Amino acid sequence: MNTKITIAIDGFSSTGKSTLAKQLAKHLGYIYVDTGAMYRAVAYFAMQKGFITSSTFDKSALIAALPTIQLSFEFNETLGFAEMYLNNENVETQIRTIEVSNYVSKVAEVSEVRAKLVEQQQEMGKNKGIVMDGRDIGTVVFPEAELKIFMTASAATRAQRRFAELQQKGDEVSYEEVLKNVEERDYIDTHRADSPLVIADDAIEIDNSELNKAEQFTIVLDLVNEVIKAI
Ligand code: DC
């Protein structure tokens, strides 16, 4: 029963991928990696350097600066999950703002950015016993993952969830703005040339519009146990 597997969780933004991935990792004693946080940290870096603004994006400058970007996760015992560090600075709060959400899909379209992050993600998962969530985990990062989950929910449901989260943090943003951001990111994420968000042939799709967190967790944990039993 000590068999460790790789669990890939992909899907649209705000489908609760990270909630599910964190629950699974905690229950199984696996490492959890939020790859969206890595793309967000690169977007935050690009914003700080002025490489990306509401009207401009200097891709070449970002690509040239990639070797100076060091990303790492550090487990926060109090919070119970790993926080994102950019060049040794904790950026967990900064990367969750609507500004970063508005720029991140553009940054995630850049192949050089993806290559750098995918390499690091593959290194983190080389010993298995990992739950990784993102957009291309089952298709590009770990095509050989033993369990692939693809999460979906309606755009309105997802925007409502993200809106509630942002409001709780005191972020002054309207529901309409959040919905627009969710729809724009869906479009860019599914239409980009490099590693678009697509469902892997062997992924199991879960629409959680009508599922609560506990129900969703039970369904996926059953799948994990089935996969491990079959190995
Ligand atoms: O999961 P998230 O919303 O925090 O992800 C932020 C953005 O990063 C998302 O719009 C697309 C991009 N992303 C990606 O292209 N590939 C991944 N593996 C994870 C995220």
Q: Is position 231 within any domain?
A: no
Into how many domains does the chain fold?
1
Residue 75 phi, psi (nearest 5): -70, 130
Residue pair 190/197 in contact by the 8 Å Cβ criterion: yes
**Token code pair at residue 187:** 């479009």
Q: Is position 230 within any domain?
A: no
User: What pLDDT is recorded for position 1?
Assistant: 54
Average pLDDT rounded to a whole number, residues 180-208: 95
* 124 Cβ contact list (under 8 Å, min separation 6): 31, 33, 130, 132
The SS3 call for residue 188 is helix
Please work out whether the CB of residue 108 comes within 6 Å of at least one atom of ligand 1: yes
Please work out whether the CB of residue 200 comes within 6 Å of at least one atom of ligand 1: no
* CA-proximal residue: ligand 1, atom 2 (nearest): 36
Q: How, if at all, do strands 71-76 and 81-86 pair?
A: antiparallel
Q: Is position 1 within any domain?
A: no
* CA-proximal residue: ligand 1, atom 3 (nearest): 13
Give the domain range for residue 123. Answer: 6-225
Nearest to 142, CA basis, from 4, 40, 43, 45: 4
Q: Is position 82 within any domain?
A: yes
Residue 66 CA to ligand 1 center (angstroms) comes to: 18
The answer, yes or no, to whether residue 179 has pLDDT greater than 60, is yes
Please work out whether the CB of residue 181 comes within 6 Å of at least one atom of ligand 1: no
Q: Is position 94 within any domain?
A: yes
Q: Is position 116 within any domain?
A: yes
Please work out whether the CB of residue 39 comes within 6 Å of at least one atom of ligand 1: yes
Please write the tens of the pLDDT for every residue from 106-123.
Answer: 999 999 999 999 999 999
Residue pair 216/16 in contact by the 8 Å Cβ criterion: yes
The C-alpha atoms of residue 44 and residue 40 are separated, in whole angstroms, by 6
User: What pLDDT is recorded for position 132?
Assistant: 98
**Token code pair at residue 223:** 């799948």
Q: How many CB atoms lie within 10 A of CB 72?
A: 14
Q: Above pLDDT 90, what percent of the chain?
A: 95
Which residues of 79-163 form beta strands (DSSP E)? 81-86, 89-90, 130-134, 147-152
Residue 176 phi, psi (nearest 5): -60, -40
- Looking up residue 181, the CATH number of its domain turns out to be 3.40.50.300
Residue 38 CA, distance from chain mean position: 8
pTM for this prediction: 0.94
Please work out whether the CB of residue 18 comes within 6 Å of at least one atom of ligand 1: no
User: What pLDDT is recorded for position 2?
Assistant: 73
Q: Is position 176 within any domain?
A: yes
Average pLDDT rounded to a whole number, residues 193-213: 95
Testing ligand 1's pocket by substitution, the residue of 104, 149, 187 carrying the most ligand atoms inside 8 A of its CB is 104
Please write the tens of the pLDDT for every residue from 3-61.
Answer: 999 999 999 988 999 999 999 999 999 999 999 999 999 999 999 999 999 999 999 99
Please name every residue paired with 150 in a beta bridge, in sequence order, or none if there are none.
10, 205
